[in-house]
């Protein structure tokens, strides 16, 4: 007899990456629960999203990170907890950890990571502090002995590719940090959801970092621009910004531009998504573990926008 699929609770499911994780969980046949502050949100977009969850068979659970009892009760009803909370709530995940410890039944916790591996980056402020908070949450999970999987999904393709990392879709020029020859990793948000849910019951991902590095999507900034040019038929002037100037811009830019610049400095100047080997002692790679997943390539994703 086939074993029952794990019950999954997603905290932060109405956020940017959270909705993709919720949909992937529902699609995969896992009993899926989404923690929401309001069962009937007043915001029209959020209300539409929540209704979509319900239509997909997702159970809405009323709760809040600041309501310990509601958190514990929600967690007691599931096997796996996935946090996809946004940057402002990264530190608040300590409350999820406490609730998981009290509930005592969780087989796997996936904290809100979904970016570069924060234990292997060379970041400057303000990204350094944000990544430091994520790292401190990892240390708390380890200290409490909670079974975990970290999802390092690298760059959200839907965030970067439509504009090539510019404030708006380019028309005649593209500003590139560094020399444009450092490789980044671009992953479609739907695939982030799919790979995340694949990992929740997999013994190979237990207490490991799951890196999302689809081979066709490991590209330099220059290569991505060339693909965009090929698709659009346009030719852009490429303006390269040396590291010294990038660091100066980070210091002089207002929030949140300084955060975006400091993350891009880490990815495209320091090469923090591709400058290390994945060792079996700490990590595994998703496209190797799950070759059945037909991930969206950068070229395919660009076709949606051009």
Does residue 134 have an active-site annotation? Answer: yes
Higher-confidence residue of 1 and 228: namely 228
Catalytic residue among 19, 134, 198, 208: 134
Mean pLDDT of the chain: 97
Asked if the model's pLDDT at residue 174 lies above 90, the reply is yes
Task: Work out the burial of residue 105: count CB atoms within 10 Å of its CB; fewer than 13 is exposed, 13-18 middle, 19 or more buried.
Answer: exposed
pLDDT at 39: 87
Residue-level pLDDT at 13: 97
Band (pLDDT 50/70/90 cuts) for residue 1 is very low
Average pLDDT over residues 5-32: 98
**Cα 31 off chain centre by:** 22
- pLDDT for 176-229, tens place per residue? 999 999 999 999 999 999 999 999 999 999 999 999 999 999 999 999 999 999
pTM of this prediction exceeds 0.95: yes
Per-residue model confidence (pLDDT) at position 3: 66
> pLDDT tens digits for 35-71?
999 888 889 999 999 999 999 999 999 999 999 999 9
Strand 237-241, strand 173-177: pairing = parallel
Mean pLDDT of the 82-93 span: 96
């Amino acid at each position: 007899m086939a074993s029952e699929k794990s019950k999954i609770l997603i905290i932060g499911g109405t956020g940017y990456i959270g909705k993709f994780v919720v949909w992937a969980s529902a699609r995969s046949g896992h009993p899926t629960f989404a923690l929401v502050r309001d069962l009937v949100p007043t915001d029209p977009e959020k209300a539409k999203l929540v209704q979509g969850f319900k239509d997909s068979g997702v159970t809405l659970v009323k709760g809040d990170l600041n309501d310990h009892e509601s958190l514990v009760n929600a967690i007691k009803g599931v096997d796996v907890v996935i946090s996809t909370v946004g940057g402002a709530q990264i530190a608040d995940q300590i409350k999820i950890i406490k609730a998981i410890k009290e509930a005592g039944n969780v087989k796997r916790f996936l904290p809100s990571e979904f970016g570069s591996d924060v234990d292997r980056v060379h970041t400057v402020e303000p990204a350094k502090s944000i990544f430091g908070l994520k790292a401190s949450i990892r240390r708390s999970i380890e200290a409490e002995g909670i079974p975990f999987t970290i999802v390092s999904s690298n760059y959200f393709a839907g965030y970067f590719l439509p504009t090539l990392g510019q404030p708006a879709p380019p028309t005649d020029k593209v500003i590139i940090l560094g020399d444009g020859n450092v490789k980044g990793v671009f992953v479609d948000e739907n695939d982030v959801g799919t790979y995340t849910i694949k990992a929740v019951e997999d013994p190979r991902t237990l207490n490991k970092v799951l890196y999302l590095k689809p081979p066709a999507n490991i590209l330099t900034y220059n290569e991505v621009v060339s693909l965009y040019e090929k698709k659009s038929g346009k030719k852009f002037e490429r303006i390269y910004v040396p590291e010294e100037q990038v660091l100066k811009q980070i210091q002089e830019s207002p929030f949140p531009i300084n955060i975006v610049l400091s993350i891009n400095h880490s990815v495209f100047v320091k090469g923090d998504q591709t400058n290390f080997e994945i060792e079996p002692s700490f990590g595994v790679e998703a496209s190797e573990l799950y070759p059945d997943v037909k991930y969206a390539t950068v070229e395919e994703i660009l076709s949606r926008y051009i």
